[in-house]
Structure 1
Amino acid sequence: MTEKYLPTTDSGVDVYKVYVVKQRRGGSEVVKGLKTQTPFFSSAKAAFFELYRMNFSENHLVLMTKNRTVINSYRYHSTIGDRNYFDETMELKK
């Protein structure tokens, strides 16, 4: 049996998670198979852009968290001025 090493904030290592969330009445859910966790911002950034390029409805968001705090988000089909708007020319927060 192998044990996975998943760093935590207690270990002093930053933990980035990137995933797609589907919002619906009564709550939201993480889309299965579209979640990653890494201590490396460069890997989290690559994952964010891969998910950004996928096509989902406006009920979906891509979220990047750092140590359980949302630092970047994008709502599919959003436009400039919308709360969760993002485009590839913008910088991601570390």
Structure 2
Amino acid sequence: MGIEPSGHYWKVLAWQMKISKEIDYLVGVNPYHVKKSKEFDDNSPGKSDRKDAGVIGRLIRDGRYFDIYLPKDVYGELRVITTSRKGQ
């Protein structure tokens, strides 16, 4: 499964998929690449969920993705603590 990790909402979905083991492999696609690639198809920067899903699928098919790293145990806790500390 491939996702466009923008904002913070994708993390909940990614963790749920990893915990439930409903998918074998989770990859991410750079949001900037999605934005630029969608203009190639119809020369329009318009945004729609259907169009974005097609672009993300094509980027994954072409191998233009990265592995999603979801730290667990101590490493996950350290990431949360670090993020919380930076926000203060």
- Do both share a fold (TM > 0.5)? no
When the two structures are superposed, what TM-score results if normalisation uses the length of structure 1?
A: 0.30
- The structure that is helix-richer by fraction is 2
When Rg is computed on C-alpha atoms for both structures, the one with the higher figure is 2
Q: Considering fraction of residues, name the structure with more strand.
A: 1
Greater relative contact order, per chain length (Cα 8 Å cut-off, separation 6+): 2
